[in-house]
Amino acid sequence: MNTAHAMASPASSSNLAPLKFALIGAGAMGANYVKAVQALADVKIAALVDKNIERANRVGAAIGARAAASLAYAGEIDAALVVVPSADHRTVAEPLLARGLPCLVEKPFALTEQDCRALMTAAAKSGACLQIGHVERFNAGVQALLALKPASSEMRALTARRMNSGSARVTDIDVVLDLMVHDLDVVMALKGLPVTDIRAMGTKDHAVATLTFSDGATAHLTASRITEGRTRDLAVEMKDGAVYGVDFIGRSLTRDGVSLPVAGDANNLGRQMTSFANSIRNDAPPAVSGQDALDVMQVVWRVQKALGLA
C-alpha cells in the first residue's frame, strides 16, 4: 500500500473555477460534507441527490445546491461524492465510473471483494479517478506524521485506540467496519508492507486485533462502541526508542511527548475533497486508491473472521 502523497490544505486557493460535485446521499454523513465544503474555494457541491427529495432540499439549502431525486436531474457536474449506505456503493458508483465520472466513494469501499473489484475495473477502463473516503488520512496530525516519512523498517510497533460510547448513527455494521477500519488504513499506510498474521478477540461492539507485518513489526488495535468517554489515538514505537503520538481528536503530533509542528485545521473532510479535486485537475493518482482500500478491506474481513463475525 502506498503512503499518501502530499495533500493540499482546504484553504488552498485556485484561479480556476471550482469543480462542481454532486453529493449523492443526504444522510448524516452527507450533511457533514455539506458543512465541510463551505470552507473551500476550489470545490463546490452543485447538486444534492437523494431519493428523499425533501431531505435533499433541506440539506442542500445551506449552500444553494440543486436538489434532485436522481443524478439525471443534477445538472452539469464534474465529479460525484458517493455517500450512500455501504451496501449500495457498487450500485451507485459503478455506472458513474463506467461513463468516466470521477467518484469519491465513502469508506468502507464496498462490502464484498467482488464489488470492490468491479468499481476498480470500471474506473480503470474509463480512466475515471476513484478515491475512497478514508478521512483520517486527512487528519492534520496524521498528515504531519506521513510528511516526516518515518522509515517503515524502523517501526517496531504501532498501537491504535478508537473507543467511544454507543452511536445511534451506526446500527447495521460491526465495530471493525465502523471504527477499526480507520486505524487499519492509517497503520497500513504507514507500514506499507503485507500483513502476514492476524489475531483478534472480542464482540461486534468491542474488538481487539493484533496484526503482524512481513518484517515482524506488529500493530495492536482496539475499537469499542461501549466505553465511556472518547479516545482516538495512535502510538508508533521506533527501533531507536522514539515514540510518535497522534491524537486524532486534538489533531496533534508528538515525538517522545514533545509537540511537533502540525499544519491544518479541523476540516478533515475539506482536505479530502480538495485532494480529490487536485487529483482530477492534475490527472494524478488519488491519495487513497481503490487498491489501498481493498487492501484494508481484506484485513477487515480477516479480522471479522477471527472474531466469528463473518
* Residue 187 near residue 211 (C-beta atoms within 8 A): yes
For residue 86, give the nearest of 204, 186, 175, 177 by alpha carbon.
Answer: 177
Q: How many CB atoms lie within 10 A of CB 5?
A: 13
pLDDT tier, 62 (very low <50, low <70, confident <90, very high otherwise):
confident
Q: Which CATH number is correct for 19-136+270-289, 3.40.50.1980, 3.90.650.10, 1.20.1530.20, 3.40.50.720?
A: 3.40.50.720
Domain boundaries, the chain: 19-136+270-289, 137-264+296-307
Would you state the pLDDT for residue 9? Answer: 42
Which residue has 517503515 as its cell numbers?
Answer: 152
pLDDT tier, 167 (very low <50, low <70, confident <90, very high otherwise):
low
Query: pTM to 2 decimals?
Result: 0.92
Give every CB contact of residue 235 below 8 A, 6+ residues apart in sequence: 158, 159, 160, 243, 244, 245, 246
SS3 220: strand
What is the chain's mean pLDDT, rounded? Answer: 93
Better-scored residue on pLDDT, 23 or 62: 23
CATH superfamily, domain 137-264+296-307, is Dihydrodipicolinate Reductase; domain 2 (3.30.360.10)
Q: Do domains 19-136+270-289 and 137-264+296-307 have the same CATH topology?
A: no
Give pLDDT tens digits for 248-302.
999 999 999 999 999 988 999 999 999 999 999 999 999 999 999 999 999 999 9
pLDDT tier, 78 (very low <50, low <70, confident <90, very high otherwise):
very high
